[in-house]
């Protein structure tokens, strides 16, 4: 069997899209499972949409996700990347072959004529298509002409899709598509087919939105007399409302997820779960495990919803699985303004609840910041007792806490001193300890209370309790 080779062929039109990462993952996995190659081809023939720097970003995103391509510019000694804009001579050579064989033809129909034909077809409720005028009445001059494929007028074109099975398209509904534009640049269809053939791509694995182009590609392969690759069209990623994923409803740039502090392993795991499943519905798995278990028949055809809450949950799982020192290193790589010592001091406490690295500073501010805004609304909710009763109990606490020597301000000692308080004063443990928690942190969700009291320190704890008492006193009864 010939070597398995897959590719992604993004257009460099901006920051790489999450859909590109999704296609890259499945192409990578299938190639690696079969000891094959995974190739990057930059489809940059549409110069109006070209964005400088985008190619570099694509490479960085792939490398961050650990989906490095073979023949990549980031790997020394390789011959990629493939850029279509550097291959124009190749496309010209092949278009000549089609013209000579009578399988393609020049067309010089003007925009206005094409528009008129389309309008007439629409008024007759026909599918808009080129009426093939130049196929039967060739233009005399060809310098400003486009080249079109001569598509058979009847019969059918079959696409055998590894995910969707056999799909049949009627030829009479397939347009005599443009292969080469009047400026000598190839269209996507032409360049993509020639490149997939010359680069010996064995499996074209891409998003569902390209499925309707595939019969055109099959016809082109046939016109060239080339062997078809295998095709697989991945389901489309969807927004919560089931529409095609779009930046209006969902962040789509890979870079967004990197900046938010999602771990690449978690993002890859999440993308793998989009439409594909592991045996026994295992939810957390490595890229290696995916490679070992990958088959096309585990991919569904229904477009999976890109559920950011699920991604958050997965990311939290990956964060917890990291050794503390690695998590500290990652946080210090640009996700926190706090020092190494500060981060190390609290990492085990906050690791449990962290979902994204970018949330870290917000989560831990109360440990370190001098400035503190009492949250007396929440205190009133969690205390479960009247304002005055709460103030009394906080004043008692303040006295008690003041008596604790600085060097005894440790979680064990604090627990010993405070653990029987609720019973003594007739409050439930929840009411009492939640009140203290909100007093010192401003929130009712924190790591264990005595741990945070120890880290925040006696000074700040006393100040915050006093500040809360003053704020409560200002409230009307």
Total interface residues for ligand GLU by CB under 6 A: 8
Say if CB 148 and CB 194 are below 8 A apart. Answer: no
Structure tokens at 88: 């124009």
- Measured from the CB atom, is 46 or 255 closer to ligand GLU? 46
Strands 37-42 and 5-8: what pairing?
A: parallel
Residue 215 near ligand GLU by CB under 6 A: no
Say if CB 45 and CB 84 are below 8 A apart. Answer: yes
Q: How far is the CB of 206 from ligand GLU (least distance, A)?
A: 3
From CA 158, how far away is CA 176, in angstroms rounded?
17
According to DSSP, residue 410 is labeled: S
- Region 351-390 residues binding ligand GLU, contact defined as CB under 6 A: none
In this structure, the chain runs to a length of: 477
From CA 312, how far away is CA 322, in angstroms rounded?
16
Among 5, 6, 10, 379, binds ligand GLU (CB under 6 A): 10
Among 210, 224, 256, 313, binds ligand GLU (CB under 6 A): 210
Residue 206 near ligand GLU by CB under 6 A: yes
**How is 306-345 classified by DSSP, letter by letter?**
--HHHHHHHHHHHHHHS-HHHHHHHHHTTT-SS-HHHHHH
Strands 230-234 and 203-207: what pairing?
A: parallel
Q: How far is the CB of 67 from ligand GLU (least distance, A)?
A: 15
Site string for ligand GLU, 150-189 (x = CB under 6 A): --------------------------------------x-
Q: How far is CA 16 from the centre of its chain?
A: 9
Say if CB 393 and CB 425 are below 8 A apart. Answer: yes
Structure tokens at 267: 């993002």
From CA 339, how far away is CA 246, in angstroms rounded?
38
Residue 11 near ligand GLU by CB under 6 A: yes
Residue 9 near ligand GLU by CB under 6 A: yes
- Region 27-46 residues binding ligand GLU, contact defined as CB under 6 A: 43
**Near ligand GLU by CB under 6 A, which window of 9-17, 247-255, 415-423, 445-453?**
9-17
Say if CB 82 and CB 41 are below 8 A apart. Answer: yes
**Near ligand GLU by CB under 6 A, which window of 5-13, 92-100, 132-140, 467-475?**
5-13
**Near ligand GLU by CB under 6 A, which window of 7-15, 333-341, 362-370, 448-456?**
7-15
Q: How far is the CB of 220 from ligand GLU (least distance, A)?
A: 12
Per annotation, catalytic residue among 3, 242, 247, 412: 247
Whether residue 247 lies in the annotated active site = yes
Residue 195 near ligand GLU by CB under 6 A: no
Among 177, 192, 202, 250, binds ligand GLU (CB under 6 A): 192
According to DSSP, residue 376 is labeled: H
Active site residues: 247
Q: List contacts with ligand GLU (CB under 6 A).
A: 9-11, 43, 188, 192, 206, 210
């Amino acid at each position: 069997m010939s070597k398995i080779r897959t590719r992604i062929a993004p257009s460099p039109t901006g920051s790489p899209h999450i859909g590109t990462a999704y296609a890259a993952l499945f192409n990578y996995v299938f190639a690696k499972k079969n000891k094959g190659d995974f190739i990057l081809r930059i489809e940059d023939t549409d110069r109006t949409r070209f964005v400088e720097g985008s190619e570099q970003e694509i490479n960085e995103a792939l490398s961050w996700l650990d989906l490095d391509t073979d023949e990549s510019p980031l790997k020394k000694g390789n011959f990629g990347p493939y850029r279509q804009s550097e291959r124009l001579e190749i496309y010209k050579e092949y278009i000549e072959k089609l013209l000579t064989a009578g399988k393609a033809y020049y067309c010089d129909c003007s925009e206005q004529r094409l528009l008129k034909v389309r309008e007439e077809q629409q008024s007759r409720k026909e599918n808009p298509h080129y009426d093939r005028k130049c196929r039967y009445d060739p233009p005399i001059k060809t310098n400003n002409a486009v080249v079109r494929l001569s598509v058979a007028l009847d019969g059918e074109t079959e696409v055998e899709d590894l995910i969707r099975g056999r799909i049949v398209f009627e030829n009479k509904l397939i347009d005599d598509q443009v292969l080469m534009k009047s400026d000598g640049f190839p269209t996507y269809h032409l360049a993509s087919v020639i490149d997939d053939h010359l680069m010996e791509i064995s499996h074209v694995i891409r998003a569902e939105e390209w499925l309707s182009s595939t019969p055109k590609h099959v016809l082109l392969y046939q016109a060239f007399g080339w062997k078809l690759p295998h095709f697989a069209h991945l389901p489309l990623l969807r927004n919560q409302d089931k529409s095609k994923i779009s930046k209006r409803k969902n962040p789509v740039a890979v870079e967004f997820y990197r900046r938010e502090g999602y771990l690449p392993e978690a993002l890859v795991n999440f993308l793998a779960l989009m439409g594909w499943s592991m045996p026994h519905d295992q939810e957390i798995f490595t890229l290696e495990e995916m490679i070992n278990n990958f088959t096309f028949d585990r991919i569904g055809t229904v477009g999976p919803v890109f559920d950011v809450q699920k991604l958050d949950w997965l990311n939290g799982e990956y964060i917890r699985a990291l050794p503390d020192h690695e998590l500290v290193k990652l946080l210090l790589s640009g996700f926190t303004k706090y020092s190494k010592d500060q981060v190390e001091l609290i990492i085990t406490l906050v690791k449990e609840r962290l979902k994204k690295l970018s949330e870290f500073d917000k989560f831990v501010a109360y440990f370190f910041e001098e400035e503190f805004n009492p949250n007396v609304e929440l205190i009133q909710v969690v205390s479960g007792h009247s304002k005055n009763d709460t103030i009394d109990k906080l004043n008692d606490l303040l006295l008690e806490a003041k008596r604790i020597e600085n060097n005894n301000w440790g979680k064990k000692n604090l627990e010993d001193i405070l653990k029987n308080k609720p019973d003594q004063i007739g409050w439930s443990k929840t009411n009492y300890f939640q009140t203290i928690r909100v007093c010192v942190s401003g929130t009712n969700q924190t790591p264990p209370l005595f741990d945070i009291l120890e880290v925040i320190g006696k000074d700040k704890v006393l100040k915050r309790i006093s500040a809360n008492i003053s704020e409560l006193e200002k409230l009307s009864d």
